[in-house]
Structure 1
Amino acid sequence: MSAVEQALQDEAICHATGVRQLILTFYSPQPLPLPAWLAAQPHFPKFYWQPRDGNETVAVCGQVAQFTDPEQAGQFLQHHMDGAERLRVWGLNAFDALPQPGGAQQACLFVPRLTLHQQANTLTLTLNLSDPHALQGDLARAAAFLQQLQPASPLLPLHLTLTHACHQPDEAGWEAMLERALAAIADGAMEKVVLARKTVLTFSQPVDAWRMLAASQKVNHHCYHFLMAFSPTSAFLSASPERLFLRQGDQLTTEALAGTVAGHDDDSQAAALADWLMKSEKNQRENWLVVDDICRQLQGAAHGLDVMPPEIVRLRNVQHLRRGIHGQLRAADDAVCLARLQPTAAVAGLPRQPARRFILGHEPFARCWYAGSAGYLSRSQSEFAVSLRAAWLEGNQVHLYAGAGIVAGSDPAQEWQEIENKAAGLRTLLQDPAAQ
Structure 2
Amino acid sequence: MLSISVALESLQGFLSDELPDAPGTRFVDIPFALNDAFDPLAWLCCQPVWPQFYWQQRNGDEEVAALGAVRRFAALPQADHFLQQPAAADLRVWGLNAFAPEQGALFLPRLEWRRSAGKASLRLTLSSDTSLRQDAQRARDMLSQLLPGGALPELSLSLKSERHHPDRAGWFRLIAQATDAIAAGELDKVVLARATDLRFSQPLCAGAIMAASRRVNLHCYHFYMAFDADSAFLGSSPERLWRRRGNLLRTEALAGTVASHPDERQAQHLANWLMYDDKNQRENMLVVEDICQRLQDDVQALEVLPPQVVRLRKVQHLRRCIWTTLTSPDDARCLLQLQPTAAVAGLPRDVARRFIEHHEPFVREWYAGSAGYLSRERSEFCVALRSAKVTGDTLRLYAGAGIVRGSDPEQEWQEITNKAAGLRSLVLDD
Q: TM-score, normalised by structure 1?
A: 0.95
Find 1:38's aligned residue among 28, 40, 44.
44
Q: What is the deviation of 1:156?
A: 2.6
**In the alignment, what sits opposite 1:305?**
302
| Partner secondary structure for residue 303 of structure 1 | coil
Partner secondary structure for residue 27 of structure 2: strand
Alignment match, 1:53: 59
Write the distance in 2 (CA, Å) between the matches of 1:341 and 1:30.
Answer: 40
Give CA-to-partner distance per residue, 1:350-404, whole Å, 9 cap, x none: 0011111111111000000000011101011100000001100000101000000
Partner in structure 2 of residue 102 of structure 1: none
Aligned to 2:4: none
The one-letter code matched in structure 1 to 2:230 is T
Q: Distance in 2 between matches of 1:27 and 1:163?
A: 44
CA distance in structure 1 between the aligned counterparts of 2:58 and 2:377, rounded to whole angstroms: 20
Q: Of residues 69, 75, 80 in structure 2, which corresponds to 1:69?
A: 75
- Name stretches of at least 5 consecutive residues in structure 2 with no aligned partner: 1-7
Deviation of the 1:84 alpha carbon: 3.6
Counterpart-to-counterpart distance in 2, 1:124 and 1:2: 14
The question of whether the paired residues in 1 share the 8 Å contact of 2:179 and 2:404 is answered with yes
Q: Shift in Å at residue 409 of structure 1?
A: 1.1
Kept in 2, the 8 Å contact 1:14–1:139? The answer is: no
- Residue in 2 that maps onto 1:87: 91
Shift of 1:118: 1.7
Q: Is the 8 A contact 1:375 1:383 kept in 2?
A: yes
2:332 equivalent to 1:335: yes
1:120 deviates by 4.4
**2:173 is the alignment partner of 1:167:** no
Q: Post-superposition shift, 1:299?
A: 1.7
Instruction: Give the CA RMSD over aligned residues.
Output: 1.2
Q: Tell me the secondary structure at the aligned position of residue 69 of structure 2.
A: coil
| 2:418 matches 1:414 | no
Contact 2:153/2:205 (<8 A) preserved? no
- Shift of the alpha carbon at 1:304? 1.3
Once the two structures are TM-superposed, the CA of residue 16 in structure 1 deviates from its matched residue by 5.7
Question: Aligned pair 1:6/2:13, yes or no?
Answer: yes
1:132 CA drift (Å) = 1.7
Contact kept? 2:115, 2:121, Cα under 8 Å:
yes
Q: Of 387, 394, 413, which aligns to 2:384?
A: 387
CA contact (8 A) 2:21 2:134 kept: no
Give 3-state SS (helix, strand or coil) of 2:16's partner.
Answer: coil
Give 1:143's aligned amino acid: R
- CA distance in 2 between partners of 1:26 and 1:358 (Å): 49
Matched residue SS, 1:382:
strand
Give runs of aligned pairs for residues 105-116 of structure 1, distance below 5 A.
106-116=103-113
One-letter amino acid of the structure 2 residue matched with residue 374 of structure 1: A
Paired positions, count: 423
User: What does residue 27 of structure 2 align with?
Assistant: 21
Which residue identity does 1:96 align to in structure 2?
A
Matches of 1:47 and 1:150 in 2, distance apart? 17
- Structure-2 separation of matches of 1:28 and 1:171: 49
Q: 1:187-202, aligned counterparts within 5 Å?
A: 187-202=184-199
Task: Please identify runs of 4+ aligned residues in structure 1 that moved more than 6 A.
Answer: none
User: Could you tell me whether the CA contact under 8 Å between 1:223 and 1:241 is conserved in 2?
Assistant: yes
CA contact (8 A) 2:301 2:325 kept: yes
SS of the aligned residue for 2:236 comes to strand
SS in 2 for 1:302: coil
2:90 counterpart letter in structure 1: R
Verify the 8 A CA contact 1:30 1:121 in the aligned structure 2.
Answer: no
Amino acid aligned to 2:72:
Q
Question: Tell me, what secondary structure is at the counterpart of 1:96?
Answer: coil
1-structure distance, mates of 2:275, 2:121: 42
Confirm whether residue 324 of structure 1 aligns to residue 324 of structure 2.
no
Whole-angstrom CA distance in 1 between matches of 2:51 and 2:323 = 33
Q: Which moved more, 1:365-374 or 1:27-36?
A: 27-36
Compute the displacement of 1:130 (Å). 1.0
- Equivalent residue for 1:204? 201
Name the counterpart of 1:234. 231
Q: What is the distance in 2 between the residues matched to 1:177 and 1:208?
A: 33
- Distance in 1 (CA, whole Å) between partners of 2:138 and 2:392 is 30
Partners of 1:269 and 1:30 lie apart in 2 by 40
SS at match of 2:208: helix
Which string of whole-angstrom CA distances, capped at 9 and with x for unpartnered residues, describes residues 228-264 of structure 1?
Answer: 0001010000111100000000000000000000000
Cα deviation for residue 31 of structure 1 reads: 5.8
Q: Which residue of 2 aligns with 1:374?
A: 371
Matching residue of 1:103:
none
Could you say which residue in structure 2 is the equivalent of 1:356? Answer: 353
1-structure distance, mates of 2:390, 2:147: 23
CA shift, 1:30, in A, is: 4.5
Q: 1:133, 1:428 → 2: CA distance?
A: 49
Output the CA distance in 2 between the equivalents of 1:212 and 1:424.
13
Go from structure 1 to structure 2 and tell me whether the alpha carbon gap of 1:323 and 1:114 turns closer, same or farther (over 3 Å shift).
same
> Which one of the candidate residues 123, 140, 143 is aligned to 1:143?
140
| Preserved CA contact (<8 Å) 1:114 1:126 | yes
Unaligned runs of 5+ in 1: 99-105
Separation in 2, partners of 1:383, 1:78: 17
